[in-house]
Amino acid sequence: MTSFTGTSEEPKDRKSVVRRTSRTRILPLLPPSSMVKTGRCGLPFPSVALELRTRWWIGPVEVPSRLVLAPMAGVSVQAFRRQGRRFGAGLVCSEMVSCAGIQHGNERTLGYLLISADEHPLAVQIFGSEPQVMADAARMVEAAGADIVDVNFGCPVRKVTKTGAGATMLEDPDRACAVIEAVASAVSVPVTVKMRRGLEDGSRACLELGPRLVEAGAAALTLHPRSARQMYTGRADHALTAELVERVSVPVIASGDITTRERALDVLSASGCAAVMVGRAAQGNPWVLAEIMGESETAQPSREEVAGELLFFMGETVRELGEHRATGFLKKFYGWYLGGGRFPKPFKQELVQLRTVGEVEQRLLAATPGAAEIAERLRDETAGLDELMLPLPISAFGGG
């Protein structure tokens, strides 16, 4: 069984492999006073509260907290990943990168992946179904500086599953193992796998496949315990996560419906997983990461803070995607940042209708003048970092 203490033991060769930059924060331990709480499931939290801020390892890669930011196609741009690190995520992951693009050059793409020095540790996620093509992609990902190669066996989107990739792999265990074996032999960084529970509702395919993937070379597993058919309906069944933890000797990351600190601690203590992953709750809401980490009482920032983060995020996204693509891409983020009662509804609607990112910036600054200083500070803090462009296409067919 994987336990916190089990994954916290420092491997001997760790120092030679961990890539750490001056901007990688190692979070301090919680003071003892913040460790007295009881979870909904009735279990006491003390050791778990401490564990959210303790480091752990995926193979030789050190992860400084037990909070992981989920890969999300169409969301996990570099600005999102860097923001996740700033707000407490110990590990961030790119959205899916297609391997088909390498071989045929015919994948419809949304652009290329940009990796920056302050993202580490960073997992880059690849998907595909051909072992050798996946191995080639993994080599490129490693060469570009990824600390971990993550393989997507969970994407339920038809355009991906019909090619035999994504969640289809859950029901094709021999091929899935061949992919992981090929990828793990191709790179020296750890290889991890992100899965759903299976294709159909009630499936337990992940429990059979998980141990085989570990045997094939997977250094950690992430489980989003919904079926592919479920997409995002129903609830993530973390009782299944607990069963997977029992069956494998590597860290398991729990993904699905982690939206509050209470839920994070509950899932950590009840399942024995090594870390929790947060996805949709962090869209336009990095403050929830700080709240989960116990760094702030609530996830309620001031309007200035919201607008300042959004302005910085917009600037970074334009830099990464270019003005044209960023204009459309950002529209969903306006709703995510400004919704939930943070700003009046008509204001949000007005921003979505503006034609250019520049117009949105002006309107935001007019409404919240204090946001300029916050955005400026964030720009200063992150200026001048080295960046690498990974020439692998980001797939237009995202989802997981």
Report, in Å, the least distance between residue 222 CB and ligand FMN.
7
**273 catalytic residue (yes or no):** no
Structure token pair of residue 172? 């094709």
Contact footprint for ligand FMN (CB under 6 A): 70-75, 95-96, 125, 152, 154-155, 194, 224, 255-258, 278-281, 398-400
Q: Which residues of 40-58 are buried (b: 16+ CB within 10 A; e: fewer)?
A: eeeeebeebbbbbbbbbbb
3 state SS of 188: coil
Q: Please state, in angstroms and rounded to a whole number, the distance separating the CA atoms of residues 284 and 277.
A: 16
Nearer to ligand FMN, 137 or 307 (CB): 137
Nearer to ligand FMN, 252 or 307 (CB): 252
96 or 274: CB nearest ligand FMN: 96
Q: Which residue is nearest to ligand FMN (CB)?
A: 400
- DSSP per-residue string spanning 34-96: GG--B-TTS-B-HHHHHHTTS-EEETTEEESSSEEEPP-TTT--HHHHHHHHHTT-SBEEPPP
Smallest gap from Cβ 239 to ligand FMN, in A, equals 16
Provide the residue type at 376 as one letter: E
Pairwise CA distance, residues 275 & 8, whole Å: 11
Q: Which of 98, 163, 171, 190 is nearest to 180 (CA)?
A: 190
Q: What is the closest distance, in whole angstroms, from the C-beta atom of residue 151 to ligand FMN in the complex?
A: 9
* Rounded least distance, CB 377 to ligand FMN, Å: 29
Q: Which of 93, 155, 177, 206 is catalytic?
A: 155
CA Rg, the chain, in Å? Answer: 20
Tell me the closest approach of the beta carbon of residue 325 to ligand FMN, in angstroms.
17
- Shortest distance in whole angstroms from residue 29 CB to ligand FMN: 25
Return the number of the residue (92 or 364) whose C-beta is nearest ligand FMN.
92
Q: Which is nearer to ligand FMN, 223 or 357 (CB)?
A: 223
- Identify the bridge partners of residue 252 per DSSP, sorted by sequence position: 221
| Nearest residue (CB) to ligand FMN, 55 versus 332 | 332
Instruction: Specify the residue, 289 or 307, whose C-beta has the smaller distance to ligand FMN.
Output: 289
Whole-number minimum distance, CB 277 to ligand FMN, in Å?
6
Distance between CA 389 and CA 37 in Å, rounded? Answer: 44
The CA–CA distances, whole Å, from 317 to 52, 94, 95, 290 equal 30, 14, 15, 22
Segment (H or E) for 267: helix 261-271
* Measured distance CA(179)–CA(370) in Å, rounded: 51
Q: What DSSP designation does 31 have?
A: P
Count of Cβ atoms closer than 10 Å to residue 125 Cβ: 28
Q: Which amino acids are annotated catalytic?
A: 155
